[in-house]
């Protein structure tokens, strides 16, 4: 006798036996409770579990594909038909990795991301949008070089603090500053060079120094 033929396990149980079910058959989800799924097949109710590879979560009324193991434990391995075809929930394990050697594309009218912590790391990052809104309580950024080009920059804050080792500012047309009070403190030399200088005070003007040179 051929020894290889003896090692073949039939993929289907005895259909004539009433105590056994076919290894693969279709059924309907009758009820879903916490950690328990009840399916119906040929007027018979039984418990079933979702297979690990079935990422789509079943819903009540779904037509599903059932596979039974050697202990007659029923597993939902696929969802064949659903009345609400516009709704699906995918349940992934606690640690899931999606890997592609070239590219992954997600296309949708709206994409929502909810996470306690999110980490993005890439050699090159490009973001394009027509309008963006960023809201949060605190933002920390550390960038070695920052280049910003814009037609209009508007910043509104209750308090702004800037500290530089070296600061260079150039305005090609005009530079205007409006403040209720202004003070400048320079430890070393303070110079002001212009073609025309006009200083106007409504009340008092005071110039004090150890030496004052005019002219």
Environment class of residue 85 by beta-carbon count within 10 Å: exposed (0-12), middle (13-18) or buried (19+)?
Answer: exposed
Give residue 8's pLDDT. 37
Please answer whether residues 74 and 66 qualify as being in contact, where contact means their C-beta atoms are separated by less than 8 angstroms.
Answer: yes
Take residue 152 and report the two structure tokens written for it. 């209009």
Nearest CA to 83 among 107, 106, 60, 50?
60
Separation between Cα atoms, residue 48 and residue 28, nearest integer Å = 11
| 110 has pLDDT over 50 | yes
Per-residue pLDDT, averaged over 44-48, amounts to: 92
Give residue 13's pLDDT. 42
pLDDT grade, residue 162 (50/70/90)? very high
Domain locations in the chain as residue ranges: 16-81
Separation between Cα atoms, residue 194 and residue 156, nearest integer Å = 30
Q: Quick one: CATH architecture of 16-81?
A: Beta Barrel (2.40)
Separation between Cα atoms, residue 51 and residue 67, nearest integer Å = 9
DSSP secondary structure of 68-93 = E-TT--EEEEEEEE-S-TT---B---
As separate numbers, helices (DSSP H) first and strands (DSSP E) second, the chain gives 1, 5
Separation between Cα atoms, residue 201 and residue 203, nearest integer Å = 5
| Nearest-5° Cα angle at 161, 155 to 163 | 120
Give residue 150's pLDDT. 93
Separation between Cα atoms, residue 73 and residue 66, nearest integer Å = 10
Give residue 22's pLDDT. 63
Collapsed DSSP state (helix, strand, coil) of residue 3: helix
End-to-end CA distance of the chain: 122
Give residue 157's pLDDT. 92
């Amino acid at each position: 006798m051929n020894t290889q033929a003896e090692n073949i396990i039939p993929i289907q149980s005895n259909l004539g036996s009433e105590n056994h079910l076919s290894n693969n058959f279709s059924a309907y989800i009758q009820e879903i409770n916490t950690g328990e799924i009840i399916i119906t097949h040929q007027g018979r109710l039984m418990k079933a579990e979702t297979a690990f590879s079935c990422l789509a979560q079943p819903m009540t009324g779904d037509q599903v594909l059932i596979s039974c193991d050697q202990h007659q434990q029923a597993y939902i391995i696929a969802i064949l038909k659903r009345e609400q075809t516009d709704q699906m929930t995918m349940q992934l394990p606690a640690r899931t990795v999606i890997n592609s050697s070239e590219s992954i594309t997600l296309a949708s009218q709206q994409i929502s991301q909810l996470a306690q912590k999110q980490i993005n790391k890439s050699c090159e990052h490009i973001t394009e949008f027509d309008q963006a809104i960023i809201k949060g309580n605190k933002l920390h950024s550390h960038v070695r070089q920052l280049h910003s080009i814009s037609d209009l920059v508007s910043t509104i804050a209750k308090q702004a603090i800037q500290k530089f080792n070296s600061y260079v500012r150039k305005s090609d047309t005009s530079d205007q500053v409006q403040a209720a009070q202004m003070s400048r403190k320079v430890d070393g030399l303070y110079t002001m060079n212009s073609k025309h200088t006009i200083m106007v005070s409504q009340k008092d003007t005071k110039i004090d120094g150890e030496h004052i040179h005019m002219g």
